[in-house]
Amino acid sequence: MKKNTLLLTLVLLLVALTQNSLAQSSSAYKKVYVIQVNDTHGRSTLHHFPRVYSRIMSLYRQLGRENCVVVHTGDLLSRGSGITAKTRGAANVAFWTGLTDDPAKNIDCKVWVPGNGDFYGKGDTPEEKPYKFFPSGKENAQFLIDAFTKKGGSVLLANLFDKKDPKKLAFKNAKSDVLLDIAGVKVGFVGLTYVHPNQTVAKEVNVSYDYDQVLRDTIDLIKEKAEIIIPVSHIGYVNPELKENTCQGEYQLASRNQGFPALLGAHDHKPREGTRIRRTTAANDHELPANLLYSTVTYGNTGFGLGDKESLDGSGNIPGQVIGLLTLYFDTRKNKVATTRYQFVSVPSYYGTSGRKVAASYVADQKACEVQLQKWIKANAKKDYLIKKWGPLTYNDLSNEWPKRIIPPAPVPTEAP
């Protein structure tokens, strides 16, 4: 009897100890979620805004808003729909930062690193032709930066400096870095961008292509305070336009690991996930540095699916549009990231245009987004920043492509008497 009781007590004690240590080890990790979007390219029709909105709302519900941050790694403006063109990108900034006054209903993108396409404006390059009614690229980018920061977001441009003062950043209200509290962890973001040397804005600001140095300098500014550092970039994986003897892109930045667990990239429209790079025909694909996450996700470039048709559409592995979801498992005992995970999260089809069934919550969110858009359009229909050339903003602009070749609309046929 006594022996049995002792044995039972021992077993119970062991079970209790094991459970206790299990509970401890699971509570020693905090999960930090970074929701990444990039290269959305002004895509803001009814095929895009509501479905992306519904996916992000569902992620917020699933993961807890306080554990998430939405990050846009560039090219929010260029190309796109009528609403993008007429509002000079203001509608896109409003979508990502929140269309309503109710924070619980907003996407609330907290970090944006503008890409080359976000600096288009009246200029000399062929790419800027469709933007000839915009103010200059620098002025329009400042307008978008102001709109974004006014909503509480941070615009990160660590490598664009003032033309006259090389120590000052080129844009008012932009920063080199930001520290955010996500899931109780201090996460520092550093933003690097690429503008083509011939782009008009490159003549208006001082662009540093010494990405290694800028990244090192900026990390130095925050490494004491940040528990995790994530560079966010719009340089491109390997950018052939950058000089061969310099750091040619995110691949090299990631290889020369400067103590960050992940680098979120953009620009080249090629999806990559961790070490499982999709085998594409591109000549510039490399094996990734071990234990280092590099990711580029894109949607919207073609208006359907991902940017690179040949790398995705054929395989059908990632149908439709996707959003990147980076999970950082932060070990609170060692005070560092234990492991990372990057997933492509697919975006549900728009409820009105597909035969596929989607969850009722998606449909409800998509409808809610439409209502928000209608209200926003009404409130902004005649704002002074609109390009007057194309008339007031209307709901129809959500279904229109960028005004064709900037030709004034055909005269309205006069009604028969």
- Binding segment for Zn ion (CB under 5 A), chosen from 29-37, 157-165, 208-216, 264-272, is 264-272
Whichever of 210 and 241 has its CB closer to Zn ion, that residue is: 241
Least distance from C-beta 40 to Zn ion, angstroms? 11
Residue written as token pair 């009781």 = 5
Q: In the stretch 64-83, what mask flags binding to Zn ion with x, by CB under 5 A?
A: -----------x--------
Whichever of 38 and 106 has its CB closer to Zn ion, that residue is: 38
267 binds Zn ion (CB under 5 A): yes
Tokens of 265: 């990239």
300 binds Zn ion (CB under 5 A): no
Half-sphere exposure of 226 (CA within 13 A, CB side): 22
Whichever of 75 and 365 has its CB closer to Zn ion, that residue is: 75
- Looking at residue 260, its amino acid is F
Least distance from C-beta 242 to Zn ion, angstroms? 13
Whichever of 195 and 369 has its CB closer to Zn ion, that residue is: 195
- Binding segment for Zn ion (CB under 5 A), chosen from 52-60, 65-73, 164-172, 260-268, is 260-268
193 binds Zn ion (CB under 5 A): no
Among residues 188, 187, 193, 230, which one has the least CA distance to residue 211? 193
268 binds Zn ion (CB under 5 A): no
116 binds Zn ion (CB under 5 A): yes
Question: Rounded distance, CA 302 to CA 177, Å?
Answer: 31
What is the per-residue DSSP string for 203-244?
A: HHSEE---HHHHHHHHHHHHTTT-SEEEEEEES-SS-TTS-T
Count Cβ atoms below 10 Å from residue 70 Cβ, excluding itself. Answer: 23
Count Cβ atoms below 10 Å from residue 69 Cβ, excluding itself. Answer: 23
Least distance from C-beta 50 to Zn ion, angstroms? 25
Among residues 320, 338, 317, which one has the least CA distance to residue 329? 338
Which residues in this chain contact Zn ion in the complex, by CB under 5 A?
75, 115-116, 267
